[in-house]
Amino acid sequence: MKKAIVVASINTSFPNDEKHYFGVDRGALYLSKQGIMMEEAIGDFDTVNEDEMNLISKYSKNIHRLNQIKDETDLEVALSRIINLNFKEIDIYGALGGRVDHLYANLILLNRYINQAKIKLIDVNNEITILNEKKEYELLKNKFKYHSFFAQDEALISLEGFKYDLYHYLLTKNDIITISNEIMSKRAKLTIHSGSLLYIQSKDKY
């Protein structure tokens, strides 16, 4: 299964042993400065100077330059192009810091391609994805202490092996009862009986 690594800002930590990189706007500059070859650099590059643009060109198989006046965000265009290239797994780094409007828009984008690819938003303290299959998920204890589940509309779920377990609980979209749960032993079980969940793994900054 083809996996894309998307880097959307500078000073972002990302894995350097993958095959297919995409740089979004200043993320493309950051990747090229690390000497990482990109499938494509996408953005309006309005804050990038000529020397920097040359560096990006050197490290990109393709550059997709957007008009500054546009109806879509850079990441939105990038995702649509990556989906069209048939990537089924897309990890996005550097899309959670900064402005809350962008963060919120990026959560919306997670939803848009839910049936075409498994998309994650990742930074050092958070990993976010959508779970929408009616099945039992095995979740492993990992570097993230907290596991939070939010219903998209509503979701019927069960949790087993967590600090706070639930049995056939109907979670509504205004419910925050399933925030900051913790996996008690090595693994735990989440069952989605119906609906879909925003799944946020997180740890404290300090």
Which residue in 112, 134, 135, 187 binds its own copies (CB under 8 A)? 112
Which residue in 3, 64, 81, 102 binds its own copies (CB under 8 A)? 102
Q: Spell 155-186 as b/e; 16+ CB within 10 A means b.
A: bbbebebbeeebeebebeeeeeebeebebeee
Residue 101 as a binder of its own copies (CB under 8 A): the answer is yes
Q: Which of residues 52-71 bind its own copies (CB under 8 A)?
A: 71
Q: Which of residues 125-184 bind its own copies (CB under 8 A)?
A: 125-126, 128, 146, 148, 150, 164, 173-177, 179-180
Six-digit token string for 58: 């050197």
Q: Which residue's CB is nearer to its own copies, number 37 or number 124?
A: 124
Which residue in 5, 31, 41, 96 binds its own copies (CB under 8 A)? 96
Residue 196 as a binder of its own copies (CB under 8 A): the answer is no
Task: Characterize the bridge pairing of strands 40-43 and 126-131.
Answer: unpaired
Q: How far is the CB of 163 from its own copies (least distance, A)?
A: 9
Residue 202 as a binder of its own copies (CB under 8 A): the answer is yes
Instruction: Please list the residues that pair with 148 across neighbouring strands.
Output: 200
Q: Which stretch binds its own copies (CB under 8 A): 19-27, 37-45, 131-139, 195-203?
A: 195-203
Q: DSSP readout, 47-101?
A: T--HHHHHHHHHTBS-EEEPPSS-SS-HHHHHHHHHHHTT-SEEEEES-SSS-HH
